[in-house]
Structure 1
Amino acid sequence: MKENIISINHVHFRYPGQTVYALKDVSLNVAKGEWLAIVGHNGSGKSTLAKMLNGLHYPEEGQVTICNFPLKDEFVWDIRRRLGMVFQNPDNQFVGTTVQDDVAFGLENNGIPHEVMVERVKASLQRVGMLDFLNQEPHHLSGGQKQRVAIAGVIALQPDIILLDEATSMLDPRGREEVLRTVRQLKEEQDLTVISITHDLEEASRADRIIVLNKGSVYREGTPEEIFQLNEELIKLGLDVPFPVKLSEILRLQDFEIASNYLSEEELVRELWTSNFKK
C-alpha cells in the first residue's frame, strides 16, 4: 500500500457566527499518487474542505496532516509549497502580460534563480502542450488553454499535490476534456497526487476513488464504479449521474446485454459494437 500524503481525522469546522457545522466529523485519507474526487452539491462542505487543505481554514476540532506537516500557522507555507491549487475561473489567476510571464510569477515569488526559472517555465508549458503560446497574451486563449496555462504555473513550482477546485466547471466539453487529459498525463508521468473538488460526476469518473460529501459529512466513498451504482441516491443528493452510466442502465432495462455501467461514451460504444447489439 502507498503511504498517505494527506490525513484528515475527525475534523469539525464552523464559520464565525454560525451554529451549523460546515464540516462535521470528517475523516479521510489520500494516498500518494492517487486521484481522489470529492463531490457534493452546493453546501455539502466540499469548498470548505478545499480551503482547509490550502490552509485558509483551520479545524475547530480534529487534525489535518499534509505531506507530514500538521495544519498549523507555523507550517502553512510549507504545506502551500507542496500543494498547488487550480481554481474555477482561470481569468482570476492570470497576473502576467504573456503566458511565460504568468507561469514565471510563482517562481519569482519563491526566489527561484533566473536560469532555473526559464527552464521550468518552458518545461511546464511543454508538459501541458502550451509551449507554442509562450509569448501569447492570456486573454486571447480559449478556456481550456487558459486552464492548461494555470496548471503549468502550478507544476512549475513542483508540488506533490494538485488540487482542482471546480477547475473545469466554466469550460465547454472540449476544454474540459483537454484539461482532464492533461491532468491524467501529468499524474502518470510525475506520480502526482490529484484532488478534484467538483459537483460534476463526469469529471469525478476519471478519478481512482470518489468521496461523496453531504451536509458537511462523508456520505459514501468508493471507486467510480461503486459510487455510480448508487444511482437514485446520488440524484436525491442533487448530483447528476454521467450520461454513459444512465444509458447503460436504460439499455440493460431494455434487455441489452450490457456487462456493467460504463463510465465513458467510448467504452459503452465499444461494448455495443463488439456485442452486436444483442438483446
Structure 2
Amino acid sequence: MVNNQGTEMISIDHVSFRYPDQDRYALSDVSFKVYNGEWLAIVGHNGSGKSTLAKLLNGLQYPESGTIQVDRLVLSEDTVWDIRKRVGMVFQNPDNQFVGTTVQDDVAFGLENQGIPQAIMEKRVHDALQRVRMSEFLNQEPHHLSGGQKQRVAIAGIIALQPKVIILDEATSMLDPIGRKEVIETIRQLKDELELSVISITHDLDEAAQADRIIVMNQGKVYREGTPMEIFQLESELTQLGLDIPFSIKMAKALEMKGFHFPTLYLTDKELVDALWTLHLNK
C-alpha cells in the first residue's frame, strides 16, 4: 500500500468543468491527489465525470476553474505538451490505437514523433515489448493479435515514451476475462518495476480491487475515497450508484450465509480461494 504522505505526482485542486453544449457541470469542485508509485482507481457510473477527468489529466480539455498539476507543472496551453510526455493513456478499444503495420512499427510511432534517435528508439522498442511479454510478436501485424495482446502492445507504446503516469481509460472493458487478466498483471508489474503512478478510469470494481486507493465519482463530484477494503464495505451505497461489488466479495458473503466464517473481506478471487483452502486445512 502506498503511503499517502509520499511524493505528489498529480494534484487536482477545486476543478470544475462544463461542456459547451451542456448546462450541468461534468465536474464540480473536484479535489484529490495522486502519489508517486500509487495505483488509484476512479470509478463511477456513466456520466459520473470519470471520463472527463481522464481528458483533463491528459490536456484534452482544460478546467473551467481550479488547477491541475502534473509533476509540479500546472496544466495550461503552454505546458500541455510537457505534461503529455509525463502522462500516457491506454484507451478502451485497442483496435483504434494502432497506426503501424507491425507491432514494432506501432510501438516506435510515438518515439518517431518525438524525434528520438534511431539507435535509442530501437532499444526502447525492444525493451518495452520485452516488458509486456510481446517480443516474439515484433513483426506481427496488429490485427492478428488477441484483444489482450493488442492492449499490451498499446501499453508498450506508452512505456517506450517513459512516462511517469499511465492512465487506463476503460482499457479492459472490451476484453474477455483472460485478456483483462493479462493487462492488469502487466500494469501491476510495470508499476512496481518502473515506479509508475497508475490511474484506472473504470466502472469495473473487480479491476478497482487491484488498486491501492479508490475514488468513487457521482454526478461530477467525489462521492467517497478510501482503500478498496473501505470502499467495498459500502455495498448498498455502491449498488444505489449503479456499481457492482467484486464477485469474490459477493461469493464470500454467500458462503457466510451457508456457515462459512471469514475474518475479513477478500478483494480478489485468489484471496478467497486461499481463505477457503485455509479453512479446509483447519477443519
Provide the residue aligned with 1:169 in structure 2. 173
- TM-aligned CA deviation for residue 251 of structure 1: 2.1
Moved more, 241-250 or 41-50: 241-250
Q: Secondary structure at the match of 2:182?
A: helix
Query: Could you tell me the percent identity over the aligned residues?
Result: 67
- Map 1:49-60 onto structure 2 (within 5 A): 49-60=53-64
- TM-aligned CA deviation for residue 277 of structure 1: 8.6
- Map 1:32-47 onto structure 2 (within 5 A): 32-47=36-51
Preserved contact between residue 256 and residue 277 of structure 1 (Cα < 8 Å)? no
Moved more, 249-258 or 263-272: 249-258
Moved more, 122-131 or 268-277: 268-277
Q: Secondary structure at the match of 2:19?
A: coil
Q: Secondary structure at the match of 2:186?
A: helix
- TM-aligned CA deviation for residue 8 of structure 1: 0.4
Q: Which aligned runs of 4 or more in structure 1 are off by greater than 4 angstroms?
A: none
Q: Secondary structure at the match of 2:280?
A: coil
Provide the residue aligned with 1:264 in structure 2. 268
Q: Secondary structure at the match of 2:136?
A: helix
Provide the residue aligned with 1:24 in structure 2. 28
Q: Residue deviations 1:39-73, cap 9 Å, x none?
A: 00000000000000010111111111111111100
* In structure 1, distance between residues paired with 2:206 and 2:138: 31
- Map 1:1-279 onto structure 2 (within 5 A): 1-276=5-280
Preserved contact between residue 244 and residue 268 of structure 1 (Cα < 8 Å)? yes
The gaps in structure 2 that reach 5 residues or longer are none
* In structure 2, distance between residues paired with 1:174 and 1:63: 39
Aligned CA RMSD, in angstroms, stands at 1.2
- TM-aligned CA deviation for residue 278 of structure 1: 8.1
* Count of aligned pairs between the two proteins: 279
Q: Secondary structure at the match of 1:73?
A: coil
The gaps in structure 1 that reach 5 residues or longer are none
Amino acid at match of 2:171: A
TM-score (normalizing by structure 2): 0.97
TM-score (normalizing by structure 1): 0.98
